[in-house]
Structure 1
Amino acid sequence: MRFNEIGQQLRAHRMESGLKAEEIAARLGVSRAALYRYEKGEVIKLDTVKRLAELLKISPLTLLGIGVEYYNRPIGYIERIRQIEETADQILQVYGPFSYLVSTDQFDNVLAQAFEEVADQAGTERPMARAAAEQVLSTLSSRKRMYASRKPSIIAILPPATVRKFLADGVAGALPLSDRLRAVCREAAQREMEQVADLMESEPIGLQLGLVAGGDPNGPFTLLRARERATLAVNPFATDAGPAAATGVAMITGADDAVAAHQRVAENTWRDAIKGRVAAEQIREMIIAARRV
């Protein structure tokens, strides 16, 4: 057994469950410190794995890293992607409207404002809502810091329909926000896409952005490649989805046939994608159109 991988799965599914570390430790009959050591890759008995799986309502095989992983809350998926990105050398993204790892700090700031406003509407559940928002924001920030230190190569293929929707709705478009903050979110979305256009035009080393040509792909997915393995992540959650978003079930797998099938789709989509200055001009035209509304 690879105990570090069991620890990663444990942490992601603990966050997915919404249970606090002390709650799981108490039910398991161990200290919170012991649970954290398991998450960091300390040796763990198979019987303990089985008991943890029961508490988290998942299969023991999932904790052992065997088969497909499923997540129905954004935080579990985001944490698991953060872990995989720690060793990824190449990230190939087929969804949009941008690549979070190279997004602006302003995006994070405006997203935090949106989460805070929604949490303030939660009444007696406000502390819990704020804690969930902070957990998501912290994990996203950790991903961005990791990218800045490691700089894996990124290819991101963005569907135009997703870009237009992002510009129309703004950051956190699915959340119920005040008119004032919604206007701020729309402005932030426009500035984010302006950066995307600039990056398309400048084509920095290790970063390639393009627009899907023709029809949009059926589903958003990411391929993450490390030296020894490749991972497919199918994600129904937008980067700016709220912590309580229930828009589907995310799936992560290292199955060779699944990876290969999606790799073929990604290669064909990238081959036909609109790139460089032409893509940048199309993005800027979308921004202008959004400002006219």
Structure 2
Amino acid sequence: MAAVTMRLSEIGQQLRAFRLESGMRADEIAARLGVSRAALYRYEKGEVIKLDTVQRLAELLKVSPLTLLGIGVEYYSRPIGFFERIRQIEEETDQILQIADPVAYLVTSPDYDRVLFQAIAETQDAASGEQYASIMAARKSAYETRRPTMITMLPEQAVERFLLRGVCEAASPSPELRDAARRVAAAEISRIVEMIEAEPIGLQFSVVSEVDNTANCMLMRGRERMVLAINPFRADTSPAASTGVSLITSAPEAVNAHQRVIEALWKDSLKGKEAADRLRLLLAEYAIR
């Protein structure tokens, strides 16, 4: 019964994430359902929704009704829907284990966000950029409030690329902004070095070296369950990017398999002084002069 209650409480959250994923406006979905936009927003806030409405919503959003009910695997092909769903899950997360981007987004600086959203504004429509910025800001706010423990492994190859190409590498900003994006990238890696050496409570980093391919994934542990997210999108990806498919699942076999991989990588990765020294070498070799 507890599992059923949990799934029902998540219908509204998943509805919002899949609506953002679809790219459809709230008033457009409401009109096609024959309800008011206010009613749709009430569904997204978790109010009672009829099963036939769930079925019709699933057809509109092109997802399985069972997925919308919180059963099975969730798939997202656009970063904005995926990161909205991650935001929701992080609000109830006590521990995050991740093989990450070249940074851990939740502890990046305001400069990272400034350059990221300036680059997005130059290449995307303002509305989608503002919505994306709001989602990412809410993720950081929740982290500051909850302070879940976080273990982050940084792939060395990803750090090299980050230093060479800067924040939001997929965008095509002005040369001045590209230089700023590279300077911010160097500053973020320097901050990670400082955090490694300061050893803050509840925050650990390591560097995954001599591994050709590591899939970005997160394990988010809450009181009642652990959730796995496999994600091809970096935090600094354009919100409209459609170059991969991410998935979210609580299936025990998927969670356990990825937990074993993460634990093995953590054991063999560079930590402490070794990690800090390796990042300093990368900064010396690849950071903008």
TM-score by length of 2: 0.96
1:50 aligned residue: 55
User: Within the alignment, does 1:87 sit opposite 2:124 as a pair?
Assistant: no
The alignment's C-alpha RMSD in Å is 1.2
Q: Which residue of 1 aligns with 2:119?
A: 114
Shift of 1:276: 1.1
Establish whether residue 193 from structure 1 lines up as the match of residue 198 from structure 2: no
Matched residues in 2 for 1:247 and 1:161: separation? 20
Task: Using the aligned pairs only, state the percent identity.
Answer: 55
Match 1:97 to one of 88, 99, 102: 102
Letter in 2 for 1:83: Q
CA distance in 2, matches of 1:67, 1:51: 18
Matched, 1:24 2:15: no
State how far apart, in whole Å, the 1-side matches of 2:216 and 2:90 are.
Answer: 17
SS at match of 2:170: coil
Partner-residue secondary structure (3-state), 1:219: coil
Q: Please say if residues 182 and 287 of structure 2, whose CA atoms lie closer than 8 Å, have aligned partners that are also in contact.
A: no
Q: Is 1:231 aligned with 2:236?
A: no
Distance 1:33 1:291 in 2: 49
* Alpha-carbon shift at residue 216 of structure 1 (Å): 4.1
- Counterpart contact for 2:164–2:288, Cα < 8 Å: no
Partner of 1:262: 258
Selected match of 1:133 from 129, 135, 146 = 129
Output aligned runs, 1:137-176, within 5 Å: 137-176=133-172
Q: Which residue is 2:198 aligned to?
A: 202
Q: In 2, distance between residues paired with 1:215 and 1:222?
A: 18
CA contact (8 A) 2:197 2:272 kept: yes
Which runs of 5 or more residues in structure 1 are unaligned?
120-128
Looking at structure 2, the residues matched to 231 and 217 of structure 1 have their Cα atoms a distance apart, in angstroms, of 22
Aligned residue among 65, 70, 73 for 2:70: 65
Residue 35 of structure 1 corresponds to 40
Give, in whole Å, the separation in 2 of the partners of 1:51 and 1:75. Answer: 22
Could you tell me which runs of 5 or more consecutive residues in structure 2 were left unpaired when the two chains were aligned: none
217-226 vs 180-189, which moves further? 217-226
What is the CA distance between 1:272 and its match in structure 2?
A: 1.1
Pairing partner for 1:3 from 4, 8, 20: 8
What is the match of residue 122 of structure 1?
A: none
Question: TM-score by structure 1 length?
Answer: 0.94
Render the CA deviation track for 1:206-227: whole Å, top value 9, x for unaligned. 0000001331443111100101
Do the aligned partners of residues 181 and 274 (structure 1) sit closer, same or farther apart at CA in structure 2, a change above 3 Å counting?
A: same
Counterpart secondary structure, 2:98: strand
Query: Secondary structure of the residue that 2:287 maps to in structure 1?
Result: helix
State the 1:203 CA deviation.
Answer: 1.2
Q: What per-residue deviation string (whole Å, max 9, x for no partner) do you get for residues 71-128 of structure 1? A: 0000000000000001010000112201100111110011111111223xxxxxxxxx
Aligned pairs, how many? 284
